[in-house]
Structure 1
Amino acid sequence: MSNDSGTYKEIFKSTFLFGFVQVLNIISKVGINKAVAIFLGAEGLGVISLYQSTINLIASASGLGISQSAVRDISEANSESDGVRLSRTIEITTKIIWFTALFGAVVTLFMSKLLSKWTFGNEDYVIPFCWLSIVVFLNVLSEGKLAVLKGMRELRALAKASLLGSLVGLISGVPFYYFLGYEGVLPSLITTALSTLFFSWFYVRKIKYTAVELSFKKSFREASGMIKMGVALMYVSFLGFITDYIIRIYISNNSSLQMVGFFVAGSTIISSYFGIIINAMSTDYYPRISAISNDDRRLAEEVNKQSEVGLILVGPLVVLFMFVLPLMIKILYTENFLVSIDYISYAIFGTLILVCSNSMGMVLLAKQRSNVFVYSVTFSRLLGIILNILSFKYFGLIGLGIAAIIMAIIHIVLMAIIMFKLYKITFKPELIVMLFITIGLCILAFFVKDFSNIFTRYASGSLLFIVSLLYSVYNTNRVMNINVIGVITSKFNKND
């Protein structure tokens, strides 16, 4: 039990650590956007967002997904305490990343005229795109360095590198916009990319490993598995982009741009705020399961532990979310966007289910089963397009929310079948009961939020939130063998 308790503590610690980092990164981005809005206006914000979208697309395509797939190889080598293999894997990753970074920069440089036409409809931005090739180069290198830190599970160093890079970007960006106006956009983007690379490189240099001499040819030969998995991940990311694009185009053509805005606002709230928890959890989860990818019994334990912690954290937040959603939308957007609640109130249930299904899905990445991973995601995405289009056609925004729930159910069933057939990995009964109880509490919140009497609505909502919180505390006590309430009480008694 003590070993299990230790693993749960690790999951909680890494989740809170990277959740905190992501929150600060979001605050940093909000600060930058605020500065841009003040000094450059809406047009400046639009230009920068188009720059960023182009940079991210090229960096993602040219990077071949290596920054993600390398995590698995490095983690596995590190867990085996094989210094030679670890050094070799890090060196191979470094060589491949250098090549992909240069490739991305060259592509950006030579396509600068086309990128200017495609993005802005003219050739006025050819020179800026030439400068942005530097940003692409630096970003791909940074992702490679961060992959080494993730694979080595250097969590504190990874958190510091991410956080310091964002803070320096914020501190340096504001003066550029203030003193140089539009001329400060490119220096700001380059400085931010440079600072991120500097800090990631700084912390990677602290890792002790032996330098290995490898040619580019030999590195590519030995990295075939890494590249294959990376390309699969890149394909999945691209497929996600295409899926979102098709759905938004359909909404635009069959309704209005305003309706697209409502949908995007809703999906952004869910992906941004609940994505903080899911992304924070996966940061350490992927290297952790990669290290034990050949032990199916331990993998099953990790899948269940990860899912339990996810439900403990997300459950009470979803209940609270139901009642504060109108206020949140008014703060983040305007009252006109309150119609987005029609989508969010349903789609949020899909997030609860995905907490569990994603834990299973990532096992395919740890196992390097790129073919199964690609087929399952392709099936889900194609089905998602059809389901979203039909749901919107007949039920509007509510239909899109219902489609999100159905897709989450299909995903968890699909993952459960694949995991059982291939590796005999299943969800334990306690987790299934926990999932249904959590969903049940959220369904109650879904109905209570529509009570016409304000006092009854918020009194009932507060009671439901307390019940969901106590249920999470109970599960924390159960899985970690810690009396959470007792610990909190003792802290207060000490202060007295």
Structure 2
Amino acid sequence: MEGGRAMSAAVSAKVLKAMGMFGGVRMLQILVGIIRTKLIAVWLGPAGVGLFGIFNGAVDTVKTLAQLGMRSSSVRDIAGQTSPSAIAVTVTVVRRWGWMLGVLGAVLMVACAPLLSRLTFGDGGMTLHYMALAVVIFFLSIANAEEAVMQGMGALARLAKASVWGAVAGFVVSVPMYYFWGIASVVPSIIAYSLANFTATYIYKVRGIRAERPVGVGETLSSGRRFIILGLYMTTADFIAQALSYVFIAWLNNRGGDTEIGFYQAGYTMVNRYVGLIFTALATEYYPRLARVATSGKRLSVFVAHEMGLILMLLLPAVTFFITLAPWLVRILYDSRFEAAVPFITIAMAGIVMRGVSYCMSYVILAKGDGLAFLSTESVSALAGLGLNIGCYSAWGIGGLGVAYALWFLLYALIVGYVYYVRYRLTLPAPSLRLGVLTLSVTLACIVAAQCMPSTILRLSIIPVPVIASVLVVRNLRKLIRR
């Protein structure tokens, strides 16, 4: 019993440390991105902002196609190895695939450059600019492989430092280009930013790992096949989700106009980017930890229950604070014209709680390398999300999109839960389920109270709820860590 409590305390401390590190890293990256966008808007104007969007969009598209999901899928293979020799072989394979996919992506960008220029600008005048971006694809591929190695081996401090210094160095290098070169800095600054990120990753990469025996071309291809196939499933699922998201944006534009899209994008960004920081930060440590015990049903169940308990405790004060302060947060991050998004943000917090529950179970699918199950659950979820968005917006407007978000992740939790319970025969203990019901109940009560307030200022009467929740959570976390 004491040994189990000690292990739980150690895991809790490790999880919270990882969340602190990568939550801070993500916040820094967001801040750097906001400042960069502001400087580009001021110094380069709307045309510069537009060109950055066009060229970065092309890079993201080609990168997604060429990388085949390797950044995430290879983490599982590295983390799942148990002996130093097996780890060394897998790391060698991942690094080689990083180089191969980098070359493939660069060639693909060069080959597509004339077509991209004609489709986007109407002529071949930007062909050389697109060709130059092949360097970015190459750097990104190698950096992604090294980041996967760091994450899979649990070198999270190195990964955090590489991310921080990459963002800072990229910012420092690119800003003078904006100022001195103006609109001509767009492509060179994208290249410089990617080179700075690559350099930081290379400096902090895990060193001293050499396979004890030669790893031939055949083994490189056959070993890489495992994570490439999983990556293909992940890439396909992501493509379907992005395509259906675009379908909804196009539908909303035709139905409500660009103003409604602005409200939706503002609300969705606040819900996913800022509150979603918790999930991004925790996943960095959680995913490889699950991959290491993927063959043990008992240990998987224990880790999922532990993660769910932690994430629900962290979400309770976070979502109730967001519900209470949503109008003021919108004014700070946007302005008063975007207050129409407040009901969307408020109601969507119930979906964040359900997202926390489903998040803990969904990573089991990836940890097991079950690509078909992942593609199926994500595709069904994306289709359901599209239907709910259209139906709820038609019924209740922008606020209805908050209802759609909450119902979407409730349905997603049920879908993933079915896979978790039926396909894998795993379980969740009663305390985890009770905590989930409690967190959702408090969140729903705060949402109803906030929506019923006759004025914005009266929302502050809810503030004792997140304050008390924060005190209780801090107290419980301290007890958990000190066991």
Q: TM-score, normalization: structure 2? A: 0.95
* Aligned residue number for residue 255 of structure 1: 256
The corresponding residue for 2:377 is 376
**Residue pair 1:95, 1:216 contacting (<8 A) in 2 also:** no
**AA in 2 matched with 1:71:** V
- The offset of 1:23, in angstroms, is 0.8
In the TM superposition, what are the counterparts of 1:473-492 in structure 2 within 5 Å?
473-477=474-478, 479-481=480-482
Equivalent pair of 2:92/2:211 in contact (CA under 8 Å): no
Q: Which residue number corresponds to residue 305 of structure 2?
A: 304
Larger mean Cα displacement after TM superposition, 235-244 or 207-216? 207-216
- Counterpart pick for 1:6 among 5, 10, 18: 10
Report the Cα distance in structure 1 between the residues aligned to 2:36 and 2:477, rounded to whole angstroms. Answer: 38
Structure 2 distance, partners of 1:209, 1:28, is 36
**CA 1:399 to 1:456, structure 2 compared with 1: closer, same or farther past 3 Å?**
closer
CA positional deviation for 1:468: 1.7
Contact 2:323 2:447 in 1 (8 A): yes
2:47 to 24, 27, 43: 43
Whole-angstrom CA distance in 2 between matches of 1:412 and 1:219: 37
Corresponding residue for residue 453 of structure 2: 451
Cα offset, 1:245, TM superposition: 0.3
SS in 2 for 1:40: helix
Q: Which moved more, 1:97-106 or 1:328-337?
A: 328-337
Select the residue among 36, 55, 58 that pairs with 2:59.
55
Alignment of 1:130-279 (within 5 A): 130-210=131-211, 213-279=214-280
Contact 2:71 2:148 in 1 (8 A): yes
CA 84–457 in structure 1, closer or farther in 2 if over 3 Å, else same: closer
Shift of 1:260: 1.3
DSSP-derived class of the 2:215 partner: coil
Match of 1:281 in 2: 282
**How far apart are residue 277 of structure 1 and its match?**
1.1
Cα distance in structure 2, aligned partners of 1:280 and 1:71: 16
Corresponding residue SS for 1:413: helix
CA distance in 1: counterparts of 2:297 and 2:6, whole angstroms: 21
Question: CA, structure 1 residues 454+48, in 2 after alignment: closer, same or farther (shift >3 Å)?
Answer: closer
CA distance, structure 2, for counterparts of residue 261 and residue 211 of structure 1: 56
In structure 2, do the counterparts of structure 1 residues 124 and 338 end up closer, same or farther at CA, with 3 Å as the change threshold? farther
Assess if the C-alpha contact under 8 Å between 1:91 and 1:211 holds in 2: no
By how many angstroms is 1:330 displaced? Answer: 1.6
The alpha-carbon deviation at position 420 of structure 1 amounts to 1.4
**Residue 69 of structure 1 pairs with residue 73 of structure 2:** yes
Question: Matches of 2:341 and 2:285 in 1, distance apart?
Answer: 33
One-letter amino acid of the counterpart of residue 112, structure 2:
M
1:410 aligns to what?
A: 411
Q: Given the superposition, is the C-alpha separation of residues 307 and 207 from structure 1 closer, same or farther in structure 2, using an over 3 Å criterion? A: farther
User: Within 2, Cα distance between the matches of 1:304 and 1:85?
Assistant: 29
Matching residue's letter, 1:97:
G
- Which deviates the most, 168-177 or 308-317? 308-317
The 1:174/1:157 distance shift into structure 2, 3 A limit, reads same
Q: Does 1:334 align with 2:335?
A: yes
Q: Which moved more, 1:16-25 or 1:196-205?
A: 196-205
Alpha-carbon distance in structure 1 between the residues aligned to 2:121 and 2:457 = 52
SS at match of 1:237: helix
Q: Is the 8 A contact 2:241 2:379 kept in 1?
A: no
Q: Which runs of 5+ in 2 are unaligned?
A: none
Describe the shift of the 1:55–1:210 C-alpha distance in structure 2 as closer, same or farther (beyond 3 A). same
Check 1:420–1:39 CA distance in 2 against 1; reply closer, same or farther (3 A cut). same
Q: CA shift at 1:85, angstroms?
A: 1.2
Q: Deviations over 1:197-227 (max 9, x none)?
A: 1221222253433375434443112222111
In the TM superposition, residue 341 of structure 1 has moved relative to its aligned partner by: 1.3
Q: Deviations over 1:40-97 (max 9, x none)?
A: 11221121122112111110110011111110111111xx1x1221111111111212
CA, structure 1 residues 174+212, in 2 after alignment: closer, same or farther (shift >3 Å)? farther
After TM superposition, give the deviation of residue 235 of structure 1 in Å.
0.9
Q: Which residue number corresponds to residue 17 of structure 1?
A: 21
Aligned pair in 2 of structure 1 residues 317, 122: CA closer, same or farther (>3 Å)? farther
Using the size of structure 1 for normalisation, the TM-score is 0.92
Q: Please say if 1:118 is aligned against 2:119.
A: yes
1:33, 1:454 → 2: CA distance?
A: 31
Partners of 2:395 and 2:383 in 1: how far apart? 19
Whether the 8 Å CA contact 1:438–1:468 is kept in 2: the answer is no
Partner of 1:425, secondary structure, is coil
The C-alpha deviation readout for 1:342-383, integer Å capped at 9, x for no partner, is: 221112211111112111011011101111111121221122
Please report how far the alpha carbon of residue 417 of structure 1 lies from its aligned counterpart in structure 2 after TM superposition.
1.8
Counterpart in 2 of 1:489?
A: none
Deviation at 1:473, TM superposition (A): 2.9
Q: Matches of 1:43 and 1:278 in 2, distance apart?
A: 35
Q: Is the 2:327–2:456 Cα contact (8 Å) retained in structure 1?
A: no
Question: Equivalents in 1 of 2:459, 2:104: separation in Å?
Answer: 57
The residue identity in structure 2 corresponding to 1:451 is M
Displacement of 1:264 in angstroms is: 1.1
CA distance in 2, matches of 1:138, 1:466: 45
Specify the code of the residue in structure 2 equivalent to 1:42: P
Query: Aligned pair 1:94/2:95, yes or no?
Result: yes
> Which segment is superposed worse, 290-299 or 441-450?
441-450
Structure 1 spans left out of the alignment, 5+ residues: 483-496
CA contact (8 A) 1:247 1:385 kept: yes
SS in 1 for 2:276: helix
Q: 2:385 & 2:31 partners in 1: Cα distance?
A: 32
Contact persistence 1:104–1:137 (CA under 8 A): yes
User: Are residues 423 and 454 of structure 1, via their aligned partners in 2, closer, same or farther at CA, if it must alter by over 3 Å?
Assistant: closer
Q: CA–CA distance in 2 between the matches of 1:119 and 1:432? A: 51
Change in CA separation of 1:25 and 1:341 when aligned onto 2, cut-off 3 Å? same
Between the aligned residues of both structures, percent identity stands at 24
> Which has the larger displacement, 301-310 or 122-131?
122-131
Secondary structure at the aligned position of 1:57 is classed as: helix
